[in-house]
Structure 1
Amino acid sequence: MTGARTRFGVVIIAEHATRKEWIGRCRRAEALGFDVIAVPDHLNLLSPIPTAVLAAEATERPAIGTYVLNASFHRPAMLTRDVTTLTGLLGDRFELGLGTGYVETEFAAAGLPFAPATRVARLAGLVRTVDGLPARPPLLIGGHGDRVLRLAARHADVAGFTGARHRPEYGRSALVTAGALMERVAYLRAAAGERAARLELNVLSKATVLTRDRRAGVEGLRRYAPDLTTEELLEVPTLYVGTPAQIAEQVRADGERFGFTYVTVMDSAMDAFGKVIERLR
């Protein structure tokens, strides 16, 4: 999608929220210029389907997405019902995001196996289900590993890059270097073949820190990648650190280098990144 206008999304995360609070956060995202308001899928958070509907009701312009539904939590028949309902209620504003899930404790709580092969197989099954829908919404598939990226290459409209892989020694995922993420983008493009030019590439940013001291600012984010050097942390496209102007330039540079034309941030960074959007529009 060379030359495409960059889109900006925000994942709104809430363990608890009143209707008024949720509507307020969604309207704030719209006012800041975000193009996509997305809802996550974790057992400790508000349910994604009703919150997506309320996000659409509260706003007028942004697309409404799931970022991303955990494939192991949704049976094909149930997903068909939910996607058909959301497409009917939200029209062309709805965008479906799917992934394998990555929080091992959630799988244990749900009584589900965490094995990578099982999780990818469940995702592949849901993708086949979505492909068979008479009115399929735009599909984002997010992940990092070969099998998930091959699914995205063959079936997705948007390939979402987490820029992180599971690290057993930490008991969680950790960010990879810019070079490692570039290899993942190249892998996707090779797997996509002639579809590569039609794929929208998305990157998920873990944090945005507004500061004039980039080195000091990035040190506070070391928990996301304990084994990376300061220079490597400053280079990854999954962390934004600097002044709004510096971050805007990073977004432009990452778009040129990696092909990202769709950037998603967490809502903890919503106001800070809103200052960046001002400089990119």
Structure 2
Amino acid sequence: MTRFGVVLIAEDCSRNEWAARCRRAEALGYDVIAVPDHLNLLAPFPTALLAAEVTERALIGTYVLNAAFHRPALLARDVVTLNRLMDGRLELGLGTGYVRAEFEAAGLPFGAGTRTRTLERLVAELDRLLEHKRPPLMIGGHGDRVLSLAARNAEIVSFTGAPFRPEYGRTALVDAGTLLARVAHVRAAAGARSSQPELNVLSKATVLTRDRRAGVRSLRRYAPDLTTEQLLEVPTIFAGTPAQIAEQIRRDRERYGFTYVTVMDSAMEDFGKVIEHLR
């Protein structure tokens, strides 16, 4: 069984609007409702708690907390409190952060090595502070160190498939072969763990169309250097009819081992039609 999550964006959102969107996500069949951690959005923990209050079944996740924004002891307290008030429905997602302007606004260093070391320290401290009280941990990223950390320590490894590309000044999707190599890296780094991590993939966009080629071409901004054929193959965007996308997800599960798919807020309604074909 594949699980499905959606990252909901809370920006200038009223309580009633947020509650309605969370209920809608659950009604569409999403297993996880996740909140991001960016300075221009409402804070993740209050929005996550409200999501839990207005839903019944879905887990509530963070996709993902920026490790640099959170001190270990304070985050440990907040995680325990939040998970208790949610009756154990929290899925804790962590990452390095990637928006330089947010680091500058917070007065934090942005170097890649610094951000990765911060995440490594945070994960180690949370394991020490929370011991058996830690909820399921997801770590998301693309680089060797972050994925190795996830493979060794997390219950869920999330593949963004989109490293920062200096030539574009932003992240961009890699091709299917590169992502397969990332999966192989995680499997090797996980080694002989008694319980292998669940593999998640973050999809950037979904286009419902009868013309798959035209659909992926409309998403070229996410991967400017990939050909149409390569775009048709990557598991990080979806284009086609709901039935075609459902079949792609089945193939991706066999090829990559992805048993958990997360989509962005803008795709929630369209991808909900795909979920209907996979239940």
Q: TM-score higher than 0.5 here?
A: yes
Report the counterpart of residue 87 of structure 1 in structure 2.
Answer: 83
Note closer, same or farther for the CA distance 1:61–1:88 as it changes in structure 2 (3 Å cut).
Answer: same
The residue that corresponds to 2:214 in the other structure is 216
**TM-score, scaled to structure 1:** 0.97
- Runs in 1 of length 4+ with deviation above 3 angstroms? none
- Counterparts of residues 69-148 of structure 1 (less than 5 Å): 69-132=65-128, 133-134=130-131, 135-148=133-146
Equivalent residue, structure 2, for 1:56: 52
The answer to whether the aligner puts 1:155 opposite 2:153 as a matched pair is yes
Letter in 2 for 1:214: R
Deviation at 1:196, TM superposition (A): 7.9
What residue is the counterpart of 2:196 in the other structure? 198
The whole-number CA distance in structure 2 between the counterparts of 1:267 and 1:95 is 18
2-structure distance, mates of 1:103, 1:252 = 33
Letter of the 1:161 counterpart: F
2:271 corresponds in structure 1 to 273
1:175 aligned to 166, 173, 176, which one? 173
| Deviation of 1:197 (Å) | 5.4
Normalised by the length of structure 2, the TM-score is 0.98
Aligned partner of 2:43 in structure 1 is: 47
Does residue 30 of the first structure (1) align with residue 26 of the second (2)? yes
Residues 48-78 of structure 1, C-alpha deviations (whole Å, 9 max, x = no match): 0000000000100000000000001111122
What is the aligned residue count? 277
C-alpha distance in 1 between matches for 2:243 and 2:194: 30
How many Å separate the matches in 2 of 1:199 and 1:77? Answer: 25
- Quick one: distance in 2 between partners of 1:7 and 1:257? 17
1:193 and 1:231 map into 2 onto residues whose CA distance is 33
Give the match's secondary structure for 2:92. Answer: strand
Please tell me whether the aligned partners of residues 190 and 196 of structure 2 are also in contact (alpha carbons under 8 angstroms). no
Is contact 1:189–1:196 with CA below 8 Å preserved after alignment?
A: no
Distance in 1 between residues matched to 2:210 and 2:194, nearest whole Å? 37
SS at match of 1:263: strand
The superposition leaves residues 202-223 of structure 1 with CA deviations (integer Å, 9 ceiling, x where unpaired) of 0000000000011111111111
Are 2:64 and 1:68 aligned?
yes
CA contact (8 A) 1:8 1:36 kept: yes
User: Which residue of structure 1 aligns with residue 232 of structure 2?
Assistant: 234
Flag structure 2 segments of 5+ consecutive residues without an equivalent: none
Q: Which residue type is aligned with residue 236 of structure 1?
A: V
